[in-house]
Amino acid sequence: MSLIKSLFTTYRGLPREVYVLFVAHIITNIGSFVQPLLVLILTQKIGLTSGAAGYYITMLSVLFAPGMIIGGKLVDTIGRKKVLLFSQITGALATLVCGFMQPSMNMVYVLMISSVLYSAGQPAFDALIADITAPENRKASYSLTYMGWNLGFAIGPIIGGILFKDALPLVFIGDGLTTFLSALLIGFFVSETKNQADHLELGADRAMEQRIEGSVFRLLFKRRILLYFALILFCYQFVYSQWDFTLPLQMTELYKSNGAAFYGLLASCNGIVVITITPLIVRFTRHYHPIRVMTAGGICYALSFGLFGVAATLPLFYLGVFIMTVGEILISINSSTFIADYTPASHRGRVSSILPIITGAGYTIGPVLMGNVVESFSIRTAWTIITVIALIAAGMMGLLSKARPIPSRSDASHQIN
């Protein structure tokens, strides 16, 4: 008990908004039915081939880019909370509409609209947490909201997998309604933080967060480490996308009509592992630079996806999911912390939109490229390719750890004209 108590002291004394977002993430992901089952909806319910399904999943991801760019600009101009609420409410409406449609290409088009709407709110989450935290509590804050996301995800896919076979409309309706509830919680209990960020006075220890003038592109040109970092995360995201694409196909190939349910159990295992070991990982990596921690995360990806390539029984798949989840935790928590530490308060929304577009491109093209590999060769060949990419990306992240700049007041206060 003393160990458990000491682990969770990490989350004491955080800003109120962090706890609210933690609960909001739980609610949203308890109803996260559509995304984990998307490839199966496209192939089994609408009747697309795996290659065509990969193409449309890629298109859905591509549509995140314009939404995030617009959302990021709005986050830095009109506010974090306003953009977040608009995104969640309108995106949920579009998802609800799908619950009253027959499986068809029209459903895919409505999902594309919801993708754009949801994406506009993504930069607001990271900007809001960065506004209300400091380096000493930032990793704990990001890890708590990440845990909330996965606590809901431990439940949602199980329910979604059960509903998928005989009650598909409820998959969309449940997803939309839980997002509405999350938006209500944020609307009532989270304050706008833009003005707080605009007037924040920072010491020399947070020099890289000081407000500056100029465009986001000039900022990224001056701080190239953010671009290098994003390109490596592009590779990580390409690898991780196969968790949502190749693994469900493999479950269906091995277990036929029960594949969706088994995949739902694996997805829930992912969420449970996040909940149980995230505090432990945060505690034991808190003194290590985020870049070094993410190098270890990439190695975990290589080990886990390599294991999927040779697994033939469920216990091996569960072991692979455990190793993959450790890597996911190491990368997810530390990537947000690193970006917040190296981004000026004046550009948080825009940086939180541009960098995820770069990194998310890996997740976007992953399904379409690997879908063609699966069709032309085999699932095992796809896992071999993914394992090699993960190893290369981990090596590049390790090299970046040796090249990272040391923030200084003179560098951070430089006006980008």
CA distance 55 to 108: 12
Q: What would you report as the CA-atom Rg of the chain, rounded to the nearest whole angstrom?
A: 21
Q: Quick one: 384 exposed, middle or buried, by C-beta within 10 A (0-12, 13-18, 19+)?
A: middle
Fold of the 17-195+215-405 domain: Growth Hormone; Chain: A; (1.20.1250)
Instruction: Count CA atoms closer than 13 A to 107's CA, side-chain side.
Output: 20
Q: Residue length, the chain? A: 417
Quote the crossing angle between the two packed helices 290-310 and 314-341, to the nearest 10°: 160
The residue written with tokens 């919680």 in the block is: 185
- Rounded alpha-carbon distances, angstroms, from residue 52 to 61, 65, 367: 14, 21, 10
Task: Report which DSSP code applies to 41.
Answer: I
Dihedral-angle region of residue 12 (phi above 0 means left; psi in -120 to 50 means alpha; beta otherwise): beta
Backbone angles phi, psi at 227, to 5 degrees: -70, -45
CA distance 94 to 98: 7
Do the beta carbons of residue 379 and residue 250 sit within 8 Å?
Answer: yes
The residue written with tokens 């090249």 in the block is: 403
Alpha helices, DSSP H, located in 290-378: 290-310, 314-341, 348-376
CA distance 32 to 44: 19
- Rounded alpha-carbon distances, angstroms, from residue 55 to 259, 366, 373: 22, 10, 13
Quote the crossing angle between the two packed helices 80-98 and 122-132, to the nearest 10°: 150
Q: Centre a 10 Å sphere on the Cβ of residue 23 and count the other Cβ atoms it contains.
A: 17
**Tens of pLDDT, residue by residue, the chain (417 residues):** 555 565 567 788 899 999 999 999 999 888 888 887 888 888 888 888 878 888 888 787 778 788 888 999 899 888 889 999 999 999 999 999 999 999 888 988 898 888 889 888 888 988 899 888 888 888 889 889 888 887 887 788 788 888 887 888 999 999 999 999 999 999 999 988 877 665 566 656 566 777 777 788 888 888 888 999 999 999 999 999 999 889 998 998 888 878 878 888 888 788 788 888 888 898 888 878 889 999 999 999 999 999 999 998 899 999 999 999 999 999 998 998 888 888 887 788 888 889 988 998 898 788 889 989 998 899 999 999 999 999 999 999 999 877 655 444 334 444 443
- Rounded alpha-carbon distances, angstroms, from residue 140 to 214, 287, 375: 31, 12, 42
Instruction: Count CA atoms closer than 13 A to 178's CA, side-chain side.
Output: 24
Do the beta carbons of residue 389 and residue 210 sit within 8 Å?
Answer: no
Per-residue confidence (pLDDT) for residue 417, from 0 to 100: 38
The residue written with tokens 């509409």 in the block is: 97
